[in-house]
Amino acid sequence: MTTRRSALRLGGAAVAAAVAVPVLGSPASALPYGFDPAPGSDGVGDPLFPTLGNGGYQVVHYDLTFDFTPVTYDFSAVVRMNARATQDLSAFNLDTDGHTIDSVTVAGSAATWALSPGRSGQELTVTPAAPLHDGRPFTIEIHYRGNGKAPRLGLTGWKFGTDGGFASAAQSSRADTFLPCNDTPSDKATWTFHISAPEGFVATANGELLHKTPAANGSTVWHFGLRERMATELIGIAVVKGTYLYGSSHRGLPLRHIVPQGQEAKYGPIVARTADHLAWVEAKFGRYPFSVYGLHIYDGYTDALENQTLSLFSTNWFKLNADGNPTYENTMVHELVHQWYGDSVTPADWQQAWLNEGPAVYYAAVYSEERGWSVLTDKMKATYAKLDAVRAKDGPPGLPKALGGTNIYDGGALVLYALRRQIGDQAFDRVMRIWPERFKDRNVSSEDFITHTVNVTGDRSLDSFLRDWLFGAVNPPMPGHPDWKATA
């Protein structure tokens, strides 16, 4: 294992250089006047997940080496983080769950560490050999191991197929089941991955495949680089029996898809539809915000998820509806819209999740209507009828009490439908197109969207209009549809 790890370490350095990751040094040893180190917080105050993420630092780059053994599900791994302190730090936390920690170093020196239970996983508290200075860069290196099917304190992000492999579905707070990390959407970073896969298996990860290298045990190490920043919940690593299929978009964007081995003829025409979907969505929002895109279709997953640059889909998703129409394309568009709304422009915390799901649901419904598969107004009327009850139970779209409810998804789409009815098609299209351009690679809130809409339209009345729709206890009247009523 030592020999293999050394080889991967060299590969990691080469990949990091390829994506222009800065080399960060150790904190200065001098203690200037006013230096007052204290522990970073064990959470960032997310309204829905108070202990999610950690305070006192920001991660700049993750470099993950992951050596996975199919069938047994054992893995050993090394995560190296370049970070920057946002306060004088005597200690800091990372989110982790289900890992055996073998060693931790900070700024090249051995650090002390301890594990304690967290709300959904574990807190890894790290005390560096010397305190860290506010504003200074530092490095963290953690060697750890575990088993994909081992018990965990919280839900797992691991998804297992019939092939003995796995794929990651970490949203919303389960990236910590794959690596110690700052598991909050407010701390985005660039990434490099070095994923080992034995003969007969392929590895996947977010970003571009840079190269492959042989390992001493006969496995192949797949090196990926993601040059754009990504939140931890969008990690898309996998080791599966799959086949890579390639293509390009209407403007030459590289497309790479992974489908089950032996089922290339079935799924090839399906993933080929991605080029048309990209053309349709780019006409709405402008240029795709990343350097590559594709679908990973896997039998170990039961849903669909917008992992950055590599959306994950269940094999069960792709069935024609009763009329013989490929309405699964609506979901393909849904996850593609997320690459702009959610992946590139990311919520500051999970209570802002309607900013992800509202646009994805809305534009998937628009796509469906354009193809004659459904009627947008009918969908919105049905949502309006039931949303008052949902507001009372689960909270309004902009203030959900938990994730996964109708308020965030269909309710978020209804907010956008109401806005379009209020300001007209042309103004609405400008609001939605300029948003991902203006806030690319940033974290945002509902307040940002309200201010953005007012600024783009010049209509100050939209401030109260959107607040009523996002935060109100009941539905406001629907513009143009005064007859719409909520059901008891």
DSSP 8-state assignment for residue 26? P
Give the tokens for residue 195.
Answer: 């994923």
Question: What's the confidence (pLDDT) of residue 32?
Answer: 63
The answer to whether 400 and 370 are in contact (CB under 8 A) is no
Question: What's the confidence (pLDDT) of residue 375?
Answer: 98
- Mean pLDDT, the chain cut into blocks of 10 residues (488 residues total): 30 36 44 85 91 95 98 98 98 96 98 85 94 98 97 93 97 96 97 97 98 94 97 98 97 97 98 98 98 97 97 96 96 98 97 97 98 97 96 96 92 98 98 98 98 98 98 97 90
The answer to whether 327 and 321 are in contact (CB under 8 A) is yes
Rounded Cα distance between 94 and 182, Å, is: 5
Give the tokens for residue 158.
Answer: 């691991």
Amino acid in position 481: H
The angle that helices 425-438 and 274-285 make with each other, rounded to 10 degrees, is 100
Give the tokens for residue 206.
Answer: 């977010």
Question: What's the confidence (pLDDT) of residue 119?
Answer: 63
Question: What's the confidence (pLDDT) of residue 15?
Answer: 35
> 0.85 exceeded by the pTM?
yes
